[in-house]
Amino acid sequence: MLEIGDVKRLTQARVVQAGTDEDGLARRLLLEKYGGPGENLTGWSRTSLPVAIAWRPAA
């Protein structure tokens, strides 16, 4: 069960396989989103563990 705000849904999570296109995209998107002025997140973007979450539609 994953809760975002006041919405709760059953989900499935998986670790993204290292070195894949999906892995590179996840790291780049997170770095672009959270790496603002004065932030040095390049090490974090290389060593973090990307996890993909399948957010199922509401029943």
Q: What percent of the chain has pLDDT over 90?
A: 49
Domain count, the chain: 1
CA dihedral 40, 46, 48, 49 (to 10 degrees): 160
Tell me the pLDDT tens digit for each residue of 16-31.
999 999 999 999 998 8
Which residue range forms the structural domain that includes residue 36? 2-55
Tell me how far apart the alpha carbons of residues 32 and 2 are, in angstroms, rounded to a whole number: 24
Provide the token pair at 21: 């296109």
Task: Show Cβ contacts of residue 38 under 8 Å, excluding neighbours closer than 6 positions.
Answer: none
Tell me how far apart the alpha carbons of residues 8 and 6 are, in angstroms, rounded to a whole number: 7
Q: How would residue 59 be classed by pLDDT, with cut points 50, 70 and 90?
A: low
Question: So what's the pLDDT on residue 45?
Answer: 85
Residue 2 DSSP one-character state: E
